Each structure stands twice: as structure tokens, then as C-alpha cells.
Amino acid sequence: MSRRLRLESRVLTEEEVHVRDPIELQLKRIYSPLVWKETAFGIRIQDLKENQHDEVINIIKDYYVEQDVLCKNTELLNDEESLDCYLKRIRFQLRDNSSIIAVDLKDEEGDKKLTDEKLKIVGVLVLKIIRKNEFTRVFSQVQLVEGEAMKRCIAFRSHITRRVDVHEKCNCEVFLRYYELCVIPEYRHQSIGHLLMLCGIKAARSYNIPVVAGLFPNFALQKLARRLGMETIYEIKYTEWTDSDGELIFDDPGAGNYTCAVMAGTVAPLPPPPPRPPETQTNLRRPKTRAEKQMSKTRQD
């Protein structure tokens, strides 16, 4: 191969690379997660992608189940069959593709941003769109429930959901439901939970959903929900929930946790764009033609 042909081949290859890169960049932007908020201290709230489901399931298993009031008091973590059933139900909720996560943008040294593939998930808010015409309440009741601990947990949740219909109470055809909220221990007390719940409202607004609601089993979550404008539409005291023998099921709900509450709030629409400023007379005045300029000059003379 001649030197000239080799040079032409090299130029062609480099041109192909330059043509291919913008396409790959565009595809990456299309499939990248939607970012809801990014803080000054390196935490980003973004959509949960399918390839992150396993990591989220492990976070819930390791950090949520042992501290949640319902899971803890029904001893779900000690019942392998119940735990497996619970995690399967969580995985089913994640398939809705509306859940959001909090990721740490920095590495262990704290001064370098990581690539999207290496971002550490530090919190998750499981969300699901609930439509009235999909009979989701009926479907939820016929899902397979395995394990004694899981049956006790579902019995309590079902008792509450049968007492209140969010669609009817809030006069809506669809709402965004908050399921589990979990932040890993070393990232707690940094307002990440509040950011996740706040961005949940932003997500509902983007889906044009007028109401957000959820079952909040402890005082801390209920307090967060009130800060976001949610109100209690139904609640039950843990001391009122007993088994068939009259024994308390929730004998250790934790300090300050007296009730389990269903809370809901309306999603305020985005404010309308500001009105367009009126056009001034200067903007409306057209430029003079050459004849008009000549006429004006003649008059001045």
C-alpha cells in the first residue's frame, strides 16, 4: 500500500470516529437517568434504572427491613420465606419505573466525580402510580403471600387500605404512592430523605398526577410528609392492633411511634410562565426607506 493511500485511509478512519461520537453521545443522553436535583454537597436525586434494581433490593434488605416498624415487629427478617416474598413484592413495585434514588457523586476521597456506572446508591424512594380504573386494590389482595410474618404484615396493611380509598377521599383518578423510603446509615441526618420525598412530588407533577399519598408507619416519616403539605386521612394506633388471642402485635414500635397513618397531599401545578412584555413603540417602528430619508433631509434643508 502506498504512503498516500495509507494517509487517506487514516483520515477516513478519523472522520468515521468523529461522526460516530456525536451519535453515541446522543444515545447516552437519551438513556441516561433523569436528574431531579443535585446538591452542593455531592448528592444527586435521579430516576432508578432497571440495571440498578438488584442494588436497591440489597439496600432494602440490609438497611430497611430490620428498622421498619411493620417488618421489625412481625419479625419478617427472621422468616426466610416471608423475607423472600417481601423482596419479590418490592421488585414488582420497581417495575413501574417511577422510583427515584439518591447517589453520591464523589469517590471515597471526596473530591472527584465518578462516572454514572460507578455512582454509589445511598438512598431510594419506591414509587408507584396507582390508577383507579386498573383495580389495583383487588390485584394487591390476590398476590401470593408466603410466610407467617408476611401474612401478619399484609393483614395490617390491608386493614388500613380497606378503611380509606385515596381516590375517593382526594377526588382523583390517579395518585403517586410512596412505598418504602430508605437511606443507608452513613448518609442519614443529611436531609436526603426529605430530598427524595420532595422530588417524588416533582415526579408526580411531571406525570401530571394531582395527588401523592403513602402509608407512613413512624413519626419521622409522618413529620416529613407534613412538611411537604400532606395531611392524615386515616390512622390507627399500634396499641389497638392485636392478634386473635388479644396480644399486641406491635409491642415495640419505637420511641414516639404511636400510629400508622395514611397521608395524602395535592400536587400544585407549575406556575404559568410570566406574561410577555408589551412591545414598545420603538420596537414597532419600522426602519425608514431611502426615499423617506431623502425626503426628510430635503425638508430639513
- The ranges assigned to domains in the chain are 1-30, 32-269
Q: Beta 174-183 vs 211-216: how paired, if at all?
A: parallel
Residue 104 neighbours by CB distance under 10 Å = 22
DSSP 119-166: PEEEEEEEEEEEEGGGTHHHHHHHS---SHHHHHHHHHHHHHHHH--H
Whether residue 56 contacts residue 94, with contact meaning beta carbons closer than 8 Å, is answered with yes
> What pLDDT score was predicted for residue 115?
66
Residue 13 neighbours by CB distance under 10 Å = 10
> What pLDDT score was predicted for residue 5?
47
> What pLDDT score was predicted for residue 295?
79
Whether residue 293 contacts residue 249, with contact meaning beta carbons closer than 8 Å, is answered with no
> What pLDDT score was predicted for residue 250?
81
Grouping H, G, I as helix, E, B as strand and the rest as coil, residue 32 is coil
Question: pTM (2 decimals)?
Answer: 0.77
Grouping H, G, I as helix, E, B as strand and the rest as coil, residue 220 is helix
Q: Whole-angstrom Cα distance, residue 139 to residue 133?
A: 12
3-state helix, strand, coil in the chain (%, to 5): 50, 20, 30
What phi, psi does 245 have (nearest 5°)?
A: -95, 5
> What pLDDT score was predicted for residue 157?
87
State the alpha helices, DSSP H only, in the chain: 3-31, 53-59, 69-73, 80-94, 136-142, 148-163, 166-169, 192-206, 219-227, 281-284, 290-300
pLDDT in tens, the chain (301 residues): 454 544 444 444 444 444 455 555 455 555 567 899 999 989 999 999 999 999 999 999 999 998 899 898 888 989 999 999 999 999 999 998 899 999 999 876 666 666 666 789 999 999 999 998 874 444 444 457 888 889 888 888 888 888 899 999 999 999 999 999 999 999 999 999 999 999 999 999 999 999 999 999 999 999 999 999 999 999 999 888 876 677 777 888 888 899 999 999 999 887 777 887 775 555 556 677 877 777 777 777 6
262 DSSP assignment: E
- Architecture of 32-269 per CATH? 3-Layer(aba) Sandwich (3.40)
What phi, psi does 257 have (nearest 5°)?
A: -95, 100
> What pLDDT score was predicted for residue 31?
55
